[in-house]
Amino acid sequence: MTQDMETPGPGTADTGKPTKPPKPKREERLLAELRALYPKAFASGPEAVMPLALYIHHKIKPPEGYTRAHLSAALRLYTTTPEYLAALAAGRPRVGLEGEPAGFVSEVHRKEAAATLADPGSRLPKKEKRRLFLAARLEHPTDAQGNPMPKIRFSAAQAKITLVLDPATFRAALDLDTVGIKTLSVTIEADGKYYDALLNPKSFRKAQAAFREAASPVVTISGNLKDGVVESAGIQVFDKGAKAAEPAPVPASAPQVRGTPASNDRDNGRPRLGLKPKAGG
């Protein structure tokens, strides 16, 4: 003879005794309090959620019994929900504690939120993140608290530019013969843009020689930028791997000639790191 066994229902354990629901974590309890204190900022519902103002944690005083660390955890819990990420990805305007407008969502934050929604483990490449961040700061300048600031404009008396060349591209030109050439025309590609420059052939030959001797060469072309042309362009080679040599000690018995220093302060045993081209031939 078999006896029917009653299956434990929800809220009961195998012993048949009711089980207590799990206790909310501290950050969950604090988030519930923040929703009660600031309902217009910490809204509920996919369509009601709005991105919070930048650095809003500075304006919130943790309720009694909570610390700044608890507040950070509660804000992290709120700002990583799918509803909040969707609000960021949609580019909804940011709001303050009372629901007042508090700026915009930058392109980098919008793209990061969209990438996280599509793949929670994905991240924007650092180079792309920095590009978007700088673009947002240029388009909408803000202070340290994220408040809008006026864009400051200056007038430049002269536009100077220094282009650091890819060593591999300059190495390919080491055997270029420029003897008998009056001017050397070069084009430099940088970040998708092209710059033209006319170089002194003698200075270019010096740069070739310095490049061959350098342990870790850095080649730069600099001058005045005008309409995509680097005018009065000069080429230099620096050896970032070279170390200054220690000056030789002067014997105590060495005779001193009046008016002549014991060592050459202008040289002092340091290797010459740059070749600055001269104007003309």
Q: Is 238 helix (H, G, I), strand (E, B) or coil?
A: strand
Alpha carbon 215 to chain centroid, angstroms:
29
DSSP state at residue 269 = T
Could you tell me which residues come within 8 angstroms of residue 76 by beta carbon, excluding any fewer than 6 positions away?
27
Kindly give the confidence (pLDDT) of every residue in the chain, 281 residues in length, as a single tens digit, with 9 standing for 90 and above.
444 444 444 555 555 566 666 667 888 999 999 999 999 999 888 889 999 998 888 899 998 999 999 999 999 999 989 999 999 999 999 999 999 998 888 888 888 888 888 887 766 677 776 776 666 666 666 666 566 677 777 888 888 999 999 999 999 999 999 998 889 999 999 888 899 999 999 999 999 999 999 999 999 999 999 888 999 999 999 998 766 555 666 555 444 434 444 444 434 443 333 333 344 44
What are phi and psi for residue 213, nearest 5 degrees? -85, -20
Query: Domains in the chain, please, with CATH?
Result: 26-139 (1.10.1710.10), 160-239 (no CATH)
CA distance 151 to 232: 32
Which amino acid, one-letter code, is at 213? E
